[in-house]
Structure 1
Amino acid sequence: MSKVYIVRHGESVWNLEHRLQGGRDPALSKAGYSQAARVAAVLEGLGVAAVYSSPLRRAAETARLIAGVLRVPLLLHADLREISMGAWEGVPFHDLVARDGEAYRAWIAAPADRCPPGGEPMAAFAGRVMAVLEEVREKHSREDTVLVTHGVVARVLVARTLGLDLNHIYRMRVSNCSLSCLTFDGDFPRVGLLNQVGHLGTQIGEDPHTLV
């Protein structure tokens, strides 16, 4: 049996500005570092063998803090980076809704069937993300690991593990520095945790930065 813990990166400066991030590379905010320390404390003592991370700064900075606390290797994997959102990246959410709201809402409703202008198709994105999960599982078949990544990556990992339609991934909330867990035991994968945020002291319903 093995467990894969999924951590979304801490709050970034673009989360604060309500900008869509995608493949762009903003840094963590001050609060993001604090969130990373809190999730690291939760993971400490669980016997994790390694931390894998997206190379984008908001994830890599989160992962570096976690790996340091856990005293385990940190491995950056390019295919854990967030989905590319093309022309929408860096645009403040209220501007995007005003300018291209119909297309954005259509994409959120059915992201497997639609694509942001110049963005990454969901099928290709999901393929690279799931290939990383298989690689990690093969290398750590009897060990627990941590993947530090992004909101859409986390949603796809959970949805594909459960055999869910990728058009429904935005029905899942994935908060900054939330903790989810996939458990693999033979041919029966389970989701043991999804968007656990108790370690952050977040109030119920208080979740301002869930934009992709």
Structure 2
Amino acid sequence: MRHIYLVTHPEAQHHVDGLVGGWHDSVLTARGHRQAERIADVLASRIGQAGDRPDGVDPAGDHRDRVDPVFEPVEVYSSDLRRASQAAERIARRFSVEVHTDTRLRERSNGEADGRPQAWLAERRIPLPEYGDRLGHHDGPAGTETRLALVERLYPALDDILRRPATTQIIVSHGSASSYLIAAWIGMPMRSTDRVFFPLTSGSITTLRRNDTHHSHQVVTLNETDHLRE
């Protein structure tokens, strides 16, 4: 079976400051870094270890003071924006692997609104219509990315990840982007995503699994947040 652990980056500075995120390259807050550590704890507890051994015995049978856990092969992918990549780096360290960054895993750009106060965007935003070309809708601020442009880069990004041989993969992205990654995982056609939205909390974990018997793409857990409690 293949398991995908989809992580939305935890608390970032733009959340605290009330700024528009998008491609604004904010960093994790101190709280966000703590949340990233707890995310790493959860994932380490769920991802099986290769050749589990009692402490003090290495593969050759020699006694040692401590044996570090040896995990099944894990790959970690991340948006290149710092709030995501910082979280991904903390997770990757737990598994002693590198982070593969991909600009296609970024959040949707809000153009000139990125990094500005949320109120600035609210005053200028053109509401998304209930009907019509919702994917091609332009929200107003110059340089804003349409939802169609977002799905057109996220779907191929996930396809490339799934072509990799590793059966355990962790993807660290953003709220809206992760919602469309779930849509891509379950095989929803791009043009059918004009109404889809999975509300995901910052720092949440969603577990995706491919069943090798039925070749089904499952959403096993959605938006887990218990680990965020302080």
Alignment TM class, shorter chain as reference: 0.7 to 0.9
2:220 is aligned to 192
- What are the equivalent positions in structure 2 for 1:103-114 lying under 5 Å apart? 103=126, 105-106=127-128, 112-114=135-137
Tell whether the 8 Å contact from 1:51 to 1:74 is kept in structure 2 after alignment. Answer: yes
- What are the equivalent positions in structure 2 for 1:42-57 lying under 5 Å apart? 42-45=42-45, 46=47, 47=72, 49-57=74-82
Where do 4+ consecutive residues of structure 1 move more than 3 Å?
Answer: 107-111
1:149 pairs with 2:177: no
1:167 is aligned to 194
- CA offset at residue 10 of structure 1? 1.4
Q: TM-score, normalised by structure 2?
A: 0.78
2:11 is aligned to 11
Alignment deviations for residues 31-75 of structure 1 (CA, whole Å, 9 cap, x no partner): 110110010000014045111111110001000000011222211
Gaps of 5+ in 1: 203-212
2:2 is aligned to 2
Tell whether the 8 Å contact from 1:43 to 1:70 is kept in structure 2 after alignment. Answer: no
RMSD: 2.2
Equivalent-residue separation in structure 2 for 1:65 and 1:197 (angstroms): 18
- CA offset at residue 9 of structure 1? 0.8
Tell whether the 8 Å contact from 2:74 to 2:169 is kept in structure 1 after alignment. Answer: yes
Query: Larger Cα Rg: Structure 1 or Structure 2?
Result: 2
Residues 178 and 85 (structure 1), Cα distance of their counterparts in 2 relative to 1, 3 Å cut: same
- CA offset at residue 121 of structure 1? 2.2
1:201 pairs with 2:229: yes
Alignment deviations for residues 92-128 of structure 1 (CA, whole Å, 9 cap, x no partner): 223322x225x1x427998524123321222222121
Gaps of 5+ in 2: 48-71
- Aligned pair partner of 1:66 in 59, 75, 91: 91
Q: TM-score, normalised by structure 1?
A: 0.84
Residues 80 and 34 (structure 1), Cα distance of their counterparts in 2 relative to 1, 3 Å cut: same
**Bigger helix share:** 1
- What are the equivalent positions in structure 2 for 1:132-147 lying under 5 Å apart? 132-140=157-165, 143-147=167-171
Residues 173 and 39 (structure 1), Cα distance of their counterparts in 2 relative to 1, 3 Å cut: same
The one-letter amino acid of 2:135's match is A
- Aligned pair partner of 1:180 in 206, 214, 217: 206
